[in-house]
Structure 1
Amino acid sequence: MKRWAKRALITGVSAALLTACASSPTGRQQLKLFPSSEIDQMGVQSFAQMKEETPATNKTATSQYVNCVANQVIAQVPSKYGIDSWEVVVFDSEQVNAFALPGGKVGVYTGLLDVAENQHQLAAVIGHELAHVLAEHGNERVSTAYATQTGLALAYKISGEPSEQKDQLFALLGIGSQVGVILPFGRIQESEADIIGLELMAEAGFQPEQAVSLWENMAKASGGQSQPELLSTHPSHDRRIKDLQEQMPKANGLYQQAKAAGRVPSCKI
């Protein structure tokens, strides 16, 4: 490839990446290359597929309990995010997990209720998952992966003739980008979702200290076994708890304001 063509290609890609920069709800810079409507549609389609593959619980009391908690937290989502309605489904599965998808979709697995021992701990999980949607982490993750792969392909194309040494180098660069960019980015998003989710649950009137208890329960449920933080998209349990404790003064202030405003949830099975 001629030098002028290389420069033009690099300049074009760089300009595209710069114009796609945005800010998350906490003010962190993030990369979003795709229209939000397109990501929302992906979320809606994925949720429909999940409902076909995993049955919803047939226990009315369980479903009502989860929806009671979820609705209280959802009510605190600011209108500026433009999500008019949320669909909450309780899936009959032993997985200790929950998720939220772009397009206003929330899934909670019944297995989570064995670890989230009360309404406050369940609210911590739901707030965290809603935060991923509000911060458009889905768009960011897809965009980061796309930009990483596109950048490596571009670098390969403009770096000269193919050779065995070059192929080996770029294979290592691919591994390096996974560990150095995509996985740490996931950890940043998880920590950000913890902060936003903590504020949402507190504004809904749930006790923010229970978020710490939740992750202590999660650590016990995992038997203390987890991937090294370096190779995980999630922070370690200890790191997560420490970060939540640092945010607790602000969260407690929001919780007191919620109580004063009469927001005192009472969701029970």
Structure 2
Amino acid sequence: MKARSFLIVLASLGLAAACATSPTGRHQLRLVSDQKMATMGVTAFQELKTKTPLTQNPQTSAYVQCVARAITQETGGQWEVQVFESKEVNAFALPGGKIGVYTGLLAVAQTQDQLAAVLGHEVSHVLAGHSAARVSNEIATQFGVTLVSLGTGLPSEAVGAGAKYLLILPFSRGDESEADELGMQLMARAGFDPAQAVELWRNMEKQSSGAPPEFASTHPSHATRIADLQRELPQVQPLYAQARAAGKNPGCKSS
């Protein structure tokens, strides 16, 4: 029993030493370096490009590139942007400066501002270190499940299920909410109307069906997101006004 306690103490000390803070002050676990995450992101992006066709529509590609360029000009760094021909309603950003947009998203993100809301959100995941935190949480959870199972005699499956619903999913929802907040700020600074982030999620709500209950999902419910964004909007509108006064008017055209 003493050996088990010693292991738990060592693990706790190691995890505490790996704590970091997100841009909004949330505590994060960071067991993986930024360089390692960038390598993982580039590898994943290259693999995806071999499996999913790129769009052959130059207007669509130019439109997405225009919106992405306006967003990433606010962040600095080099970003590769690709548009994938797929009905999937999705987009992503990866460590290592990679952005992917599926053409299916454009049926829901119907304006440049709504697309900017998505891209601002995805880029914010990278800027806030969410990928590294999620990988770190998974590593720590697997290690912790083993320790708790040894220390309590509970089956590892039961401990793992508890960890999923009490740790991994809530942290993921926290990441999503933080990316919503940071993404709205980012799009506003780039000259996109932040009010359209609310409209985007209303569109998402209309087209979604059979979504899991919020407690079992890695994302907040649409209603929660809309309410949170509406609450944040008055604080972000001045950033939008400043950007437009500075001449930031992306003017990206979908056709």
In the superposition, the TM-score normalised over structure 2's length comes to: 0.97
Shift of 1:155: 2.2
In 2, the alpha carbon distance for the partners of 1:51 and 1:42 equals: 14
- Residue 172 of structure 2 is aligned to residue 186 of structure 1: yes
Structure 1 segment 105-144 matched on structure 2, within 5 A = 105-144=98-137
Change (3 A) 1:159 1:226: closer
Shift of 1:152: 1.2
In 2, the alpha carbon distance for the partners of 1:13 and 1:7 equals: 10
Larger Rg: 1
- Contact 2:4-2:147 at 8 Å conserved across structures: no
In 2, the alpha carbon distance for the partners of 1:117 and 1:156 equals: 49
Which runs of 5 or more residues in structure 1 are unaligned? 161-165
SS, match of residue 22 in structure 1: strand
Structure 1 segment 1-269 matched on structure 2, within 5 A = 3=2, 5-77=3-75, 79=76, 84-159=77-152, 166-167=154-155, 170-223=156-209, 225-269=210-254
Alignment correspondent of 1:163: none
| Aligned residue identity for 1:56 | L
Instruction: Report sequence identity in percent.
Output: 52
In 2, the alpha carbon distance for the partners of 1:158 and 1:239 equals: 38
Which runs of 5 or more residues in structure 2 are unaligned? none
Cα offsets for 1:113-139 (capped at 9, x unmatched): 011111000000000000110011111
In 1, the alpha carbon distance for the partners of 2:151 and 2:234 equals: 52
| Aligned residue identity for 1:216 | R
Aligned length: 254
In 2, the alpha carbon distance for the partners of 1:94 and 1:6 equals: 50
RMSD of aligned C-alpha atoms? 1.2
Quick check: 247-256 or 149-158, which moved more?
A: 149-158
In 2, the alpha carbon distance for the partners of 1:8 and 1:172 equals: 23
